[in-house]
């Protein structure tokens, strides 16, 4: 299972689409459980996240490359 892509955007936490790297959520939009998983230093982690456009790509239904 893949991990979510978590980056800092101008000092603000952002979760990116695991395929096209578009910003999906900022720290303000994360639930407490998601925030815990993102910031946790143990073996738990937030699973890969996908935008609406890339969800079919995650399932292998298209061969388009990210822009």
Asked whether residue 54 is domain-assigned, the answer is yes
Domain-embedded: residue 20: yes
Domain count of the fold of the chain = 1
Query: Is 39 part of a structural domain of the chain?
Result: yes
The label of the residue with tokens 């939009």 reads: 29
Q: What is the mean pLDDT of each run of 10 residues along the chain (67 residues)?
A: 83 92 92 87 80 76 51
Residue 64 lies in a domain: no
Supply the range of the domain harboring residue 44.
Answer: 5-58
Q: Is residue 31 in some structural domain?
A: yes
**Domain contains 66:** no
Task: Note whether residue 65 is domain-resident.
Answer: no
Residue 40, pLDDT score: 80
What distance in Å separates the CA atoms of residue 33 and residue 65, rounded to the nearest whole number?
31
**Residue 13: strand, helix, or coil:** strand
pLDDT of amino acid 25: 93
């Amino acid at each position: 299972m893949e991990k979510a892509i978590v980056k800092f955007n101008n000092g603000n936490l952002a979760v990116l689409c695991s395929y096209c790297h578009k910003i999906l959520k900022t720290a303000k939009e994360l639930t407490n459980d998601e925030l815990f998983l993102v910031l946790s230093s143990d073996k738990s982690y937030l699973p890969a996240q996908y935008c609406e456009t890339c969800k079919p790509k995650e399932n292998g239904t298209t061969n388009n490359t990210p822009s």
